[in-house]
Structure 1
Amino acid sequence: MRLTTTEKVSEEDSYGEEKSYGKMIIFSTINGYNKQRLLTQYNVIGDSYISATVNKTTDEVTYQIDSIIEYKDHDARLYKHINYTVNGRQYSGDGTLVDQTVDCKGHQYSGCLRKEHVVFTMTQQTIEQIAINYTEGSEDKWRYTLSPEKDRSYSAHLFVAEIAALVEAVNENKRPQGL
């Protein structure tokens, strides 16, 4: 697994004005383990990663799950509804579609190649409940389901080790130096 960090102080908003965040650090497992799979017109493939944004002024942590889903179809499916279970408790909600690409070149009969990037946030407490279940050497997966407006649901996962490593990195960064 690869862990990346980014410091963010401000950025330009859509009106060209600078938006200040205070000092924030973003931890992410993007570009970590990625299994190569073949996309056909009968399957859906995807990649998921987790990120945490730490506000260095308030020590507030926001966790976000990103899922990138690829499929071939004539119509967009819009995988936005999320279902997951943590310690026997069922959660349900809607994610946010942050990006969608469509490539129909050479695919007019079998359907366009479609990619949807969906994100949803989870509380620090919920993420830590998942992370606490990690045991060294385990390849356990935490699973969740993305459901589209039409068609079949897609089952996605993150390795519990990936979640635990991110939580540990965030907690290490929040501790005062020298302890």
Structure 2
Amino acid sequence: MENKWYTISVYSENNVGLLNRISGIFLKRHINIESLNVSKSEIENVSKFTIVVFTTEDWTRKIVAQIEKQIEVIKAFYHTDEETIFQESALFKIKSALLFDEPQIQNAIKESNSKIVTVHREFFVLAKTGRRHEIDEMHDRLEPFGIMQFVRSGRIAVTKAEMRITELLENFQPNN
């Protein structure tokens, strides 16, 4: 089997220590977590982990099965990139003088649909949302000018196909 990008979605109760146990599942198998995001889900009191890995489907299936064995986990799924709609976000902090002195930076902002979040005397901050490669391209364009700080979010994703998770979770209310 060939390695591919997989997005694993984990719906769980929000309990201390779960992230540590989930990351341990990947550690035991020597599989790197490429991206991780945790947020509330569409169901009250239920969290959603979005984990991105580059591995085989067989390993992904085994990991999802292990994750589902965790007591707090309600359900876990995995999907390929073709089955999901996904984005990442990034912030770039750059010296303010460059905004006015370098037309290439102005062009990069315009062409990449980036947004200036704030401008200060010493620096300005750009926000870029898109696919990983789009953020990487923006980083590559800005790097020669000097990036003061850079941060990227984990992937956020929804599936293209209907997921019955909402129906499954409607019956799950941990505070009932």
Please tell me the TM-score bracket, short chain as reference.
under 0.3
User: Which is helix-richer, 1 or 2?
Assistant: 2
Structure ID, larger Rg = 2
Higher RCO (C-alpha under 8 Å, 6+ residues apart): 2
User: Which is strand-richer, 1 or 2?
Assistant: 1
TM-score by length of 1: 0.27
